[in-house]
Amino acid sequence: MTDTPWWRGAVIYQIYPRSFLDTNGDGVGDLPGIIERLDYVAGLGVDAIWIAPFFRSPMADFGYDIADPCDVDPLFGTLADFDRLLAAAHARGLKVMIDQVLSHTSDEHAWFRESKQGRDNPRADWYVWADANEDGTPPNNWLSIFGGSAWQWEPRRGQYYLHNFLASQPDLDFHNPAVRAAVLDNLRFWLDRGVDGFRLDSINFCFHDAQLRDNPAKPKAMRTGRGFSADNPYAFQYHFHNNTQPENLAFLQDLRALMDRYPSIATLGEISSEDSLATMAEYTSGQRLHMGYSFELLTRDFSAAYIRDTVRALEAKMTEGWPCWAISNHDVERVLSRWGNGHASAAMANQLTAMVCSLRGSVCVYQGEELGLTEAELPYEALRDPYGITFWPEFKGRDGCRTPMPWEDGEHAGFSDATPWLPVPPEHGVLNVARQQVDPGSALSGYRRFMHWRRGQPALRHGDIRFLDTPEPVLAFVRELDGERVLAVFNLSAAAVECALPLAGALRPLQGHGLVSGTLDGGRLHLPANGSLFARMA
């Protein structure tokens, strides 16, 4: 496997810098804080880190509204701090991927400040502008993910501009070749500094329908959405025209051509479309993105059948590309609350990590998963997320998964000497790193054991996958590489189960993974609550 790119089968640890570690006492995490904890991250047994946005920004959407994509916001440090971080990570064998937001900017970006002044300046056509209808209403029915119309009136131009997200996040017009060239120049800036790859935010939102056609209505029964609540009007439409346009494919090829000029670069696209699995397959075929991930395993749907059917569907469509999976991130409720049904435990945390890390593909794991953190329940007055503030209480936003990492006992759990930007909930404080590091039965200890064990299992990192038809709540599949076959079985429930395995031949259980283990008795499998079995097949 010496010729296998580093990112294939890699475990990528997502760091949300605002909430990782504060070193300057302002209550917000920073780049020096990441540097200070790199030994901890490397010790987890992961392959890479993905750092959420740390660029200059007014922070209306906490860094996903970028005012200068080629500089570090003073809140997080300096470019010199980033260079130190990059060198320190590489010295520990960690690759570094950074977030890039290509489809839109902050309304404080110099490009938009110029563009909004009138219709005859050099950047007048760098954003998506459109005239009002005769009655003054927006040019079509497109909606913002954050609620309401996706169009904002700009009196200086006497036109509307498009924003698929917040009104302070205007969309760039990728139909303009100058925009595409400028965006690629921004990526080149970070490639020249030595980054190992990019996580590309909302990559299917770069292009819009040039004819500005209305989106069709979606029947009420179909308003299930991906990454947003069903009571959000955004779920009332099929989003056929405001994203995922065919012109994006040529841009992705141009982007890949730039990546290929640098050694060992990886691109990971975040994809949320009407058929995200099909878009993942399309965007990772040929010379486009290296990997793609979607919200399919970031929903409340949790059953063996759902996971099996989702991965099978992607495998059938993705004949060339490489998937990446995630069950938690900075945009969704933490997985132990979302899938735990009130039964969250260290055993469940370790099992869910093992399950997603045993699927074919690479994996993004989110800070705090290794500690078994649940979603923080915050009062309305503590909210910072504009999404949650708008939709409270039906949807509480994303703050509950973004609370600070608990590092040790004491006030603010060692995250900061000051009051943190979000509170540390008491139930997280008792799960801090310092306590778990000395407890062999903790979620953190189990996480480390599994990750280091997985590194020695090439079939789990690189092999093909074949699912077995097992009854609920048992998920079972075989990973195969160069004649080596490894069976992985998971009891996705808090009660013991027993079932027959639809397999012929001898099985040799594998040890050392550190999970609650099942046993084989003849042809029958016994799995305790949240139990797992890995076995080598003859």
User: Among candidates 446, 269, 461, 267, which has minimal Cα distance to 361?
Assistant: 461
Q: Could you give phi then psi for residue 486, rounded to 5 degrees?
A: -120, 125
Task: Please give the structure tokens belonging to residue 200.
Answer: 């590309």
Catalytic residue among 22, 99, 201, 375: 201
Q: Is residue 201 among the annotated active site residues?
A: yes
The reply to whether 114 belongs to the active site is no
How many CB atoms are closer than 10 A to CB 32?
18
The torsion of the CA quartet 106, 111, 116, 121, rounded to 10 degrees, works out to -170
Q: What is the three-class DSSP state of 268?
A: strand
Which residues does 494 contact at the CB level (< 8 Å), separation at least 6? 341, 343, 345, 348, 529, 530
Q: Quick one: tokens of 267?
A: 């691109």
Which of 81, 270, 282, 333 is an active site residue?
Answer: 270
Report, in this order, helix, strand and coil percent for the chain, each rounded to 5: 30, 20, 50
Rounded CA-CA distance 380/300 in Å is: 23
Chain-centroid distance of CA 114 in Å reads: 32
User: What would the two tokens of residue 208 be?
Assistant: 């819009």
Q: What are the residues facing 11 on neighbouring strands? A: 363
Q: What is the DSSP string of 327-370?
A: S--TTS--HHHHTTTT---HHHHHHHHHHHTTSSSEEEEETTGG
- Report how far residue 471's alpha carbon sits from residue 498's, in angstroms, rounded to the nearest whole number: 10
- Provide the 3-class DSSP secondary structure of residue 198: strand
The catalytic residues are: 201, 270
